[in-house]
Amino acid sequence: MTVAPPLAPPPRLLMGPGPITADPRVLRAMSAQLVGQYDPWMTATMTETMGLYRQVFRTDNEQTFLVDGTSRAGIEAALVSLLEPGDRVLVPVFGRFGHLLVEIAERCRAEVHTVEVPWGEVVPAELVEEAVVRVRPKLVAVVQGDTSTTMCQPLAEIGEVCRRHDTLLYVDATASLGGNPFETDAWGIDVATAGLQKCLGGPSGSAPITISDAAAALIASRKRVEAGIREAGDDDAEAGRTTATIASNYLDLAQVMDYWGPRRLNHHTEATTMLYGARECARLLVEEGLDAAVERHRLHGEAMLAGVRGLGLSVFGDVAHKMHNVVAVEIPDGIDGDAARGAMLTDFGIEIGTSFGPLHGRVWRIGTMGWNARTDAVLTTLACLEQVLRAGGASVVPGAGVAAAREVYAG
């Protein structure tokens, strides 16, 4: 028998691309004791949480709830519930998470088409429209904010393209929601998913999702009620189906909608503590006001951008299309990127991010999001990064990073 000591995480300021330091109020809400899954208080709280996320997603969609898993579970739930084998899907790819949509859609046995642009750019709407006309997809699936490149894909025009050609639109808003403008209804988005661990200021493990009435009807047409809890009427409702059964049970949104909806049909056992956390993330965001939260992310992102430039560093990608909440900083010549990140962590308790694929070793990714979109977090990170750069042999004007950020704050 090997007993482990009580949990004692080291103090960290998480300034990477996410997960980030959770808002202590979210952690406090998550420490509340459990209530049974069909307790009237619990079902009322689930319904209330749906209302809060309608405000976060800016939508009237009845079907707005949580998938019990990380943001990736939300993505797969959306794709596996929307796509039948052989369906055509178009994925505009501008970074790693576009590739993830391709990967997941392929596992749904969809016929996947892509339009790609180089990392550091966003996809022009005309390119998407040209491909929609050519491919005639059932679904366009696109990432809003791809942390691998920091780019924030404009979506309003893609929404128009999809409406014009009667195509469904799915958006992965994991990295962007709450920190950048997002309009489910105004932009004509059918399904959007997110996670808590970025601008929402919570821990990973719950995936908010919203589904338009049209998409919900399509998903419901594939519903199959489980043996063991089937009731009179389920056979009739499912008779004569031509749709393929959804390939997953756990991520079957038809079943999950029935669990959150008035029928309250048993499916999984709701992850109550994650629900508490997700509710608190949305509650705080709504209390602050969505516009104010986006503006806060804009301001601190701007300050961090000015700060790293003040330190003499270059920034990767099309900065005009950068997400508010993360910046990709080019690692200066002569500096060992991983050693510098190690020094930030070991000497200062601050985490900044490494990179994937073509950017690996070329850029650090520095986030300012959720609870950490704060002046002290930005200035402390810049102050410590200056020390690490200098220790690594880079020539830095003393105080120039912090000073540049302060100028942004001074307006």
Question: For the chain, what is the radius of gyration of the CA atoms?
Answer: 22
Is 274 among the residues that bind a copy of itself (CB under 8 A)?
yes
**Are the CB atoms for 327 and 305 separated by under 8 Å?**
yes
The residue within the footprint of a copy of itself, chosen from 251, 254, 394, 396 (CB under 8 A), is: 251
CA distances in angstroms from 31 to 20, 21, 44, 275, listed in the order given = 19, 16, 19, 11
**Are the CB atoms for 200 and 177 separated by under 8 Å?**
yes
List the interface residues with a copy of itself, window 165-224 (CB under 8 A). Answer: 195, 197, 203-205
The residue within the footprint of a copy of itself, chosen from 249, 263, 336, 361 (CB under 8 A), is: 249
Q: Judged by CB under 8 A, how many residues of this single chain contact a copy of itself? A: 95
Does an H or E element contain 366, and which? strand 363-367
The residue within the footprint of a copy of itself, chosen from 73, 152, 340, 394 (CB under 8 A), is: 73
If the CB atoms of residues 10 and 411 are measured against a copy of itself, the closer one turns out to be 10
**Of 313, 317, 339, residue with least CA distance to 394:** 313
Spatial distance between the Cα atoms of 95 and 351, rounded to a whole number of angstroms: 22
Q: Which residue has the tokens 């189906």?
A: 241
Of the chain, the end-to-end C-alpha distance in Å amounts to 60
What residues contact 173, with CB distance under 8 A and at least 6 apart? 144, 145, 182, 192, 193, 194
Vertex 238 angle, CA 235 and 239, to 5°:
80
CA 265 to chain centre: 28
Q: How far is the CB of 166 from a copy of itself (least distance, A)?
A: 28
List the interface residues with a copy of itself, window 378-407 (CB under 8 A). Answer: none
The residue within the footprint of a copy of itself, chosen from 166, 228, 320, 376 (CB under 8 A), is: 228
Is 269 among the residues that bind a copy of itself (CB under 8 A)?
yes
Is 233 among the residues that bind a copy of itself (CB under 8 A)?
no
For residue 365, the 8-state DSSP code is E
List the interface residues with a copy of itself, window 341-380 (CB under 8 A). Answer: 345, 351, 354, 356-357
Is 14 among the residues that bind a copy of itself (CB under 8 A)?
yes
Is 64 among the residues that bind a copy of itself (CB under 8 A)?
no
The residue within the footprint of a copy of itself, chosen from 58, 72, 296, 406 (CB under 8 A), is: 72
Give me the amino acid identity at 135. Answer: V
If the CB atoms of residues 91 and 379 are measured against a copy of itself, the closer one turns out to be 91
Q: φ, ψ for residue 63 (rounded to 5)?
A: -85, 85
If the CB atoms of residues 266 and 387 are measured against a copy of itself, the closer one turns out to be 266
The residue within the footprint of a copy of itself, chosen from 124, 185, 247, 330 (CB under 8 A), is: 247
Q: How far is the CB of 72 from a copy of itself (least distance, A)?
A: 5
Q: Which residue has the tokens 């052989």?
A: 86
Vertex 145 angle, CA 286 and 356, to 5°:
135
Applying CB under 8 A, the span of 28-36, 132-140, 297-305, 310-318 interacting with a copy of itself comes to 28-36
If the CB atoms of residues 55 and 380 are measured against a copy of itself, the closer one turns out to be 55
Residue window 116-155: x/- pattern of binding to a copy of itself, with contact defined by CB under 8 A: --------------------------------x-------
Give me the amino acid identity at 325. Answer: N
Applying CB under 8 A, the span of 130-138, 159-167, 213-221, 280-288 interacting with a copy of itself comes to 280-288
Is 243 among the residues that bind a copy of itself (CB under 8 A)?
no
Give me the amino acid identity at 342. Answer: G
If the CB atoms of residues 262 and 411 are measured against a copy of itself, the closer one turns out to be 262
List the interface residues with a copy of itself, window 310-339 (CB under 8 A). Answer: none
What residues contact 331, with CB distance under 8 A and at least 6 apart? 337, 340, 361, 362, 363, 364
Is 232 among the residues that bind a copy of itself (CB under 8 A)?
no
Count CB neighbours of 125 within 10 A: 18
Is 86 among the residues that bind a copy of itself (CB under 8 A)?
no
Applying CB under 8 A, the span of 4-12, 211-219, 388-396, 401-409 interacting with a copy of itself comes to 4-12
Q: How far is the CB of 106 from a copy of itself (least distance, A)?
A: 8
Question: Which tokens in the block code for residue 38?
Answer: 């069909």
